[in-house]
């Protein structure tokens, strides 16, 4: 079953990349099926991170600026795709985590230095990881798969996954919509700029977290040095 699910998603990925010069965005064309395409691409991104999750939401939000899609519906489709995708990966890992298709992807994800750094600084428990990790591409896969392997309580997983998925979708769509409104004549630029801003915000948050940890670690060291001084 696990092989079938992963194989079907891989075939879908190949089909999507064959559409519209290889980017798959020919599915997001402003009609009713676009919302399902948003849901599916975000859902698939949670399981196989080669799918364009953030870019899909940014592109759909840019279409909302042009009036061809509804921003609220795009947000809902993105949030549902994230929640269902995370839960699907959780159960794949929980029911068949020993399978090499899951284990290999998780190992590759954990070898990524950016993901290792994120885990190091976001070590405040599963709820924090599920919410904050949703904003870090690749890390959301590692978090859901790891919690599935660990048989983390699913009700708690679903609660925080839903919070993270909803927050991520609202933020990503809202940011792309605001930038798309300001750059209505440059839709591609708005997608690129919104992605850049998100990356910059994440980098700033990691920097602040590191600075906070170093600041908190400094007083004990200073006090110890003072205690041994003559």
**pLDDT for the residue 73:** 95
Residues 34 and 133 sit within 8 Å (Cβ to Cβ): no
What does the mean pLDDT of the chain come to?
A: 73
Q: What is the pTM of this model?
A: 0.70
pLDDT tens-digit series, residues 170-228: 999 998 898 888 776 555 565 567 666 766 665 565 555 555 556 766 555 444 444 44
What is the C-alpha separation between 146 and 125, in angstroms, rounded? 12
User: Residue 11 is encoded by which pair of tokens?
Assistant: 């075939």
Give the dihedral sign, CA 212/217/220/222: negative
- Domain positions in the chain: 2-214
pLDDT tens readout for residues 135-180: 887 788 888 888 888 888 999 999 999 999 999 999 999 988 988 8
């Amino acid at each position: 079953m696990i092989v079938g699910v992963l194989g079907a998603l891989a075939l879908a990925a190949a089909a999507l990349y064959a559409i519209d010069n290889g980017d798959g965005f020919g599915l997001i064309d402003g009609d009713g099926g676009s919302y399902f395409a948003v849901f599916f691409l975000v859902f698939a991104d949670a399981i196989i991170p080669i799918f364009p999750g953030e870019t899909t939401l940014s592109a759909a939000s840019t279409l909302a600026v042009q009036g061809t899609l509804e921003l609220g519906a795009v947000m809902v489709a993105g949030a549902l795709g994230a929640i269902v995708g995370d839960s699907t990966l959780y159960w794949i890992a929980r029911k068949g985590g020993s399978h090499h298709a899951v284990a290999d992807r998780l190992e590759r994800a954990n070898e990524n230095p950016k993901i290792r750094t994120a885990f190091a600084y976001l070590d405040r428990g599963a709820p924090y990881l599920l919410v904050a990790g949703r904003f870090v591409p690749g890390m959301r896969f590692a978090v859901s798969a790891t919690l599935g392997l660990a048989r983390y309580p699913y009700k708690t997983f679903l609660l925080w996954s839903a919070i993270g998925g909803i927050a991520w979708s609202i933020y990503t769509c809202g940011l792309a919509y605001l930038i798309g409104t300001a750059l209505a004549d440059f839709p591609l630029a708005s997608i690129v700029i919104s992605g850049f801003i998100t990356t910059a915000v994440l980098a700033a948050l990691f920097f602040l977290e590191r600075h906070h940890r170093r600041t908190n670690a400094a007083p004990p060291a200073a006090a110890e040095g003072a205690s041994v001084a003559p």
